[in-house]
A and B are shown apart, each in its own frame.
Chain A
Amino acid sequence: MKKNLLSIQRAFATAIMRPLTPGERMKAKWVNGKSTRQVATEFIKPNNRLTSFERLEIYNRQYWFRLLGCFYDDFPGLLALLGEKRFHAMAVAYLTKYPSHSYTLRDLGDRLEKFLAHEPRWTARYPGLARDIVRLEWAHIVAFDGESLPPLEIDDLLGSDPATLRLTPQPCITFLACDYPVDDFLLRVRRRVEPSGEASNAMNERSKRKKASKPRLPAPEKIWLAVHRSDNAVYYKRLEPEAYLICSALKKGLTLQAACERALRRKKADEPFSAKLQAWFAQWASFGWFYRAE
């Protein structure tokens, strides 16, 4: 029976999105145990040089080379932590469980933190460090091209009632509480690698990556970060824990007063807090971190 457009596309997608063999070839067995050669022959024409299987295999290989290449570019820190072999296996497992659901490759890793939480075997030796690295690497992607709205100036706050005022952090900013100093780690890693390029749909030959020695892993240390963008460059800014509490509370939609009260509860009794608070907000305003939610 002649296949219609949808059934052809489903069969084609099934073939190309299945992981390659360790030798980077298309799998011999189809999902139902049938021969992939037989399935390919049913809908792909052979020619005088290539079988149906081989023609389909070109797309299967290109699919994985392209997506893995992008994944390697997006998560150099996790790659450095896990090493190439484990990272590669983890990436294939992730992309098999969560195929891209977006028109843009930029979103490829948006479910990686969730995946690793559900499948901790991939990061068994360093679950906390891996989680922190992934969260920072995703925050970096968001900061790079996320939305930034017209910021509030410090003067805009004059006369506002802190009990009702809601300052909303820019969508491109992420606040993170980490158990490891992953900012330093990632900066070291990023200095050693360069991304391979940008999105286009030209066919790739298999990515060739230089092997780098494993960087020194950080010892546990609590840090609080704002991952933000200033003058179109991404920065990792360390925050004091109280500052983090305020910013993350504002991100959750609390009023300015409620957010500051959370931080007040944590501060040391003898700490001169109001001057500090003033200095923080002046600095954050100068960075353009907040806009007024309507």
Chain B
Amino acid sequence: MPANRFNNFTNYGIGIGLRVPHYGHILSRKPTVDWFEIISENFMVDGGRPLKVLDSILDQYRVVQHGVAIYFGSSDGLNRTHLAKLKRLVKRTNTPWVSDHLCWGSVDGSYSHDLLPLPYTFEAARHVAQRIREARDYLEVPILVENVSSYAEFHASEMTEWEFLSEVVERADAGILLDVNNIYVSSQNHNFNPYDYLDHIPHGRVGQIHIAGHSKFEKYILDTHDHPVLDPVWKMYAHAIGLIGPTATLLEWDDRIPSFDEVHAEALKAGRFCTDLVRQPAAV
């Protein structure tokens, strides 16, 4: 299952997000890292330092593109300028797959720059699936959609989030970027059992996993990506790879970013779960 058509039959191992504070360390020390995930939009520029750094990284490392602004769920049509720039970047990085979120973020031409939750309706599922197909046809690379963390639910919803995710990826014949931390955050915010989510998605479609830290507030949890991964999320991760198999995994750390070594060490903890799984498959 780890290498499948949704991740272009790759088996990438444990990666970390490429972030500005680590550029100097990575380019000068050239640490051993399985792969880097880049935020596509940070490099969908016409020139300058971002592309220079990216090219230096590409000389040494495997890179996978993760986007934050396709907004498959927006009622607006797909932004063709965005897609054209994304495709140009795909050619530059040779990314084996492209991921973005199962969300919306713009309406009537105005952009929120946020990953906004969708109502879990059949209408929305059809709409999102159609747009994923359009984007994939244009980009000519497999697309993984990532479940987002959310803080609101809609009266209009007709199914659970995991049913909606399954409905979308089945209709679009797309892969899943399973964000285990997001499932945990949403489960706490919406009072569902996160293991029901993990158990009921189409495991064969998972091409990548995200893990991250979050912040607890009095009445809700925010997906802040500014902490190490918390224990409940590691437990869910172990359960997930027990179901899915060792899968390309990426640690996200986007705020209060510590040293490269600290982030990398946190990411490599995920590798131990995968190794244990290979050694003792029956124990998981």
Contact = CB atoms under 8 A, between A and B. Distances in A.
A145 interface: yes
Contacts of B254: 197, 200, 202
Nearest to B46: A147
Nearest to B153: A45
B68 interface: yes
Interface stretch (B115-123, B201-209, B229-237, B260-268): B115-123
B155 A43 contact: yes
Contacts of B127: 5
B222 A201 contact: no
B111 A43 contact: no
B155 A45 contact: yes
A199 B154 contact: no
A6 interface: yes
B48 A172 contact: yes
Interface string A205-229: 1000000000000000000000001
Contact of B252 (A48, A101, A197, A202): A202
Interface stretch (B36-44, B240-248, B274-282): B36-44
B113 A10 contact: no
Interface string A43-77: 11101111010111011001100110010000000
Contacts, number: 170
Contacts of B191: 47-48
A10 to B, nearest CB: 6
B159 interface: no
Contact of A55 (B110, B116, B124, B151): B151
Interface stretch (B3-11, B26-34, B74-82, B89-97): B74-82
B129 to A, nearest CB: 13
Interface in A217-269: 229, 232-233
A202 B226 contact: yes
Interface in A112-144: 143-144
Interface string A157-186: 000000000000001100000000000000
Contacts of A16: 112, 114, 116
Given A5-B75, A58-B151, A106-B45, A202 B69 contact: no
B60 interface: no
Contact of A4 (B116, B123, B226): B123
A193 interface: no
Contacts of A147: 46-47
A9 interface: yes
A47 B47 contact: no
A278 interface: no
Contact of B152 (A9, A55, A102, A197): A55
Contacts of A104: 41, 44, 69
Interface residues of A, number: 59
A280 to B, nearest CB: 24
Nearest to B108: A10
A200 B46 contact: no
Contact of A12 (B45, B116, B225): B116
Contacts of B49: 144-145, 232-233
B121 A5 contact: yes
Interface in B173-210: 189-191
Contacts of B156: 2-3, 8, 43
B41 A44 contact: no
A199 B75 contact: no
B220 A58 contact: yes
B50 A145 contact: yes
A197 B253 CA distance: 12
A201 B115 contact: yes
A17 interface: yes
Contacts of B171: none
A100 B19 CA distance: 24
A55 B154 CA distance: 11
Contacts of A67: 113
B48 A201 contact: no
B59 interface: no
A56 B153 CA distance: 9
B75 to A, nearest CB: 4
B75 A6 contact: yes
B153 A105 contact: no
Interface in B203-219: 212, 215, 219
Contacts of A200: 17, 39, 68, 225, 252, 254-255
A198 B39 contact: yes
Interface string A12-55: 11001100000000000000000000000011110111101011
Given A101-B111, A147-B47, 8 more contacts: A10-B107, A47-B191, A52-B152, A172-B47, A198-B39, A201-B101, A201-B114, A202-B223
19 contacts: A4-B123, A5-B75, A5-B123, A12-B107, A16-B114, A16-B116, A44-B154, A47-B153, A55-B153, A101-B111, A103-B106, A145-B45, A145-B51, A148-B47, A172-B47, A197-B254, A197-B257, A200-B17, A201-B101
- When A and B form their complex, which 6 residue pairs have the shortest distance between CB atoms, in order from nearest? A147-B46, A202-B225, A145-B45, A145-B48, A99-B110, A200-B254
Interface of A: 2-6, 8-10, 12-13, 16-17, 42-45, 47-50, 52, 54-56, 58-59, 62-63, 66-67, 70, 99-106, 143-148, 171-172, 197-205, 229, 232-233
